[in-house]
Structure 1
Amino acid sequence: MIPAHTLDQLKTLRLDGVVAALNDQAVSSAAAELDFDERLSLLVQREIDWRDNKRLTRLLKAARLKVSSACIEDILWRDSRNLDRNLITSLAGCDWVRHARTVLLTGATGTGKTWLGCALARQAARCGFSVLYARTSRLMQELRVAHGEGSFSRRLAQLARVDVLLLDDFAGTPMAPGERTDLLELLDDRVGTKATLITSQLTVDKWHAWLDDPTIADAILDRIVHCSHRIALKGPSLRKSQAPGEEPAQ
């Protein structure tokens, strides 16, 4: 048995993974047959896994994903959905995040845009990146309030530090002139430095008209459309086949 004071010392050093592993090994007959080097290797790996899981839990809590259960492994692969396996596999590696690229997810209601966006965002968190989900219209309202409270610059700086910003339901509601400017500033801070993931019912070619200001529209689209990864989901609504209580569409 491991002495209690040794376990307390390990806890003081914040080696909680090692403590858990030692407690497991204390009741494991198989562990007793391992030599010192093998047991030490297991303890180190357990600590690494413990810290990785703790970091992921923290990142996912901060992300506030709308569909917290969404993950790449559960994607529904139907030919009618127009999903490119090679592209999704590439995105799962998160190089798009490392290179500060944009992913544009479009499609009709119920085709699984938000779910897939959350799955890609969750995958980024798994790779250690900070993530934040935001419904676009609500974020614009938040920034408008921040102007009045004098906290706009601080909030903008906070958003600029997030590795992956998921803007859900982009182009879902009309934008006020001030909101267009705020959106431009938000996106300008991320160009070349941080990744952005956008979901929208409107196809990309209609975003310019939606912004309803040629100058600002050109500036915004220049920052998010060029060199982006595009996924245009198709097919019927997945919600129609859902039974009550089932998970959201995949």
Structure 2
Amino acid sequence: MLTNDTMRKLNELKLFGMARGFDNQLSSAAAAHLAFEERLGLLVDQEVTYRENRRLKRLLQVAKLRESACMEDIDYRAGRGLDRSEMASLGQCNWVRHGINMIITGATGGGKTWLGCALGNQACRQGLTVTFQRLPLLLEELAISHGDGSFCKRLSALAKVDLLILDDFGIAVLNAVGRNDLLEVIEQRTGNRSTLITSQLPVDRWHDYLSGGNPTMADAILDRLVSGAHRMELKGESMRRLRGRSASLGT
């Protein structure tokens, strides 16, 4: 009776991890030989783990990462241009906490989006908020938001997220409205929040892409995106082609 009452109170207090751990201890012969302090410590650990897992699940759901990627699965094969020590440092996510931008460039199929999602996943693990957006679709949504009056609200939401991943930069033609909206998004985040860009275009071609007859606008966007940003250029053979080849060989 006392046990049932304790379980009920733990659940009412939303200590679901402790409740589950308490139930496990009741059915474990080994737990009966532990000291009170040890059993209590295990319950606290289980509650912490439960809450951390729930938080991670919530952050990943909100992030909507395009790829199910993580740092542990990064392919460091020769020729890709990835350094283990560099990635280990980036995995600590201090660049996100300090509002430093990240630029990942490379040819089609090189794994830019996958790597961006792996870094986003790592940020979520550390309790940071992440949002993944394909830039062409985001700019379409922002253009529509001008008409329904939700632009400022959408802009504010994008400004608050710790890491904004903008995928496929340079893949679609920018019009004047798109350039202005992109500048507004970047301007709201500069110096406070990190933006990760993936692009097939080398950075030295970004000015032409962003200009559209307005070099001043291109200068403004580039200054905010590129200045002080950490850059990675992925090289080597297409990862999609390599995965397809491995699958055909049954490896």
Kindly provide the CA deviation profile for residues 176-196 of structure 1, in whole angstroms up to 9, marking residues without a partner as x: 001101000100000111111
- Name the counterpart of 1:56: 56
Give the 4+ runs in structure 1 shifted more than 3 A.
Answer: 243-246
Q: How does 1:217-232 map to 2 (within 5 A)?
A: 217-232=218-233
- Name the counterpart of 2:83: 84
Q: How many Å separate the matches in 1 of 2:108 and 2:2?
A: 57
Q: How many Å separate the matches in 2 of 1:135 and 1:80?
A: 27
Report if the CA contact (8 A) 1:2-1:26 is conserved. Answer: no
SS of alignment partner, residue 122 of structure 1:
helix
- Name the counterpart of 1:25: 25
Greater shift after overlay, 135-144 or 208-217? Answer: 208-217
- Name the counterpart of 1:4: 4
Q: How many Å separate the matches in 1 of 2:86 and 2:243?
A: 27
By how many angstroms is 1:90 displaced?
1.0
- Name the counterpart of 1:177: 176
Structure 1 residue ranges without an equivalent (≥5): none
- Name the counterpart of 2:241: 240
Kindly provide the CA deviation profile for residues 75-109 of structure 1, in whole angstroms up to 9, marking residues without a partner as x: 00112101122221111000011100101000001
- Name the counterpart of 1:193: 192
Letter in 1 for 2:98: H
Q: How many Å separate the matches in 2 of 1:192 and 1:46?
A: 38
Q: How many Å separate the matches in 2 of 1:16 and 1:200?
A: 43
Q: How many Å separate the matches in 2 of 1:115 and 1:126?
A: 17
Structure 2 residue ranges without an equivalent (≥5): none
Q: How many Å separate the matches in 2 of 1:198 and 1:32?
A: 54
SS of alignment partner, residue 191 of structure 2:
coil
- Name the counterpart of 2:146: 147
- Name the counterpart of 1:211: 210
Q: How many Å separate the matches in 2 of 1:215 and 1:22?
A: 64
Kindly provide the CA deviation profile for residues 203-223 of structure 1, in whole angstroms up to 9, marking residues without a partner as x: 111110001231111111111
Count of residue correspondences: 245
Kindly provide the CA deviation profile for residues 211-248 of structure 1, in whole angstroms up to 9, marking residues without a partner as x: 123111111111111111111000011111224997xx
SS of alignment partner, residue 136 of structure 2:
helix
Report if the CA contact (8 A) 1:103-1:198 is conserved. Answer: yes
Q: How many Å separate the matches in 1 of 2:90 and 2:12?
A: 39
- Give me the CA root mean square deviation: 1.5
- Name the counterpart of 1:164: 163
Are 1:37 and 2:37 counterparts?
yes
SS of alignment partner, residue 189 of structure 1:
helix
Q: How does 1:96-175 map to 2 (within 5 A)?
A: 96-175=95-174
By how many angstroms is 1:123 displaced?
0.2
Report if the CA contact (8 A) 2:103-2:198 is conserved. Answer: yes
Letter in 1 for 2:20: A
Report if the CA contact (8 A) 2:62-2:131 is conserved. Answer: yes
Change over 3 Å in CA distance of 1:71–1:10 after alignment to 2 = same
Are 1:46 and 2:35 counterparts?
no
Question: Could you tell me the percent identity over the aligned residues?
Answer: 50
TM-score by length of 2: 0.95
Kindly provide the CA deviation profile for residues 97-125 of structure 1, in whole angstroms up to 9, marking residues without a partner as x: 11001010000011100000000000000
Q: How many Å separate the matches in 1 of 2:246 and 2:110?
A: 18
Letter in 2 for 1:129: L
SS of alignment partner, residue 101 of structure 1:
coil
SS of alignment partner, residue 235 of structure 1:
coil
Report if the CA contact (8 A) 2:108-2:238 is conserved. Answer: yes
Q: How many Å separate the matches in 1 of 2:223 and 2:120?
A: 23
SS of alignment partner, residue 104 of structure 2:
strand
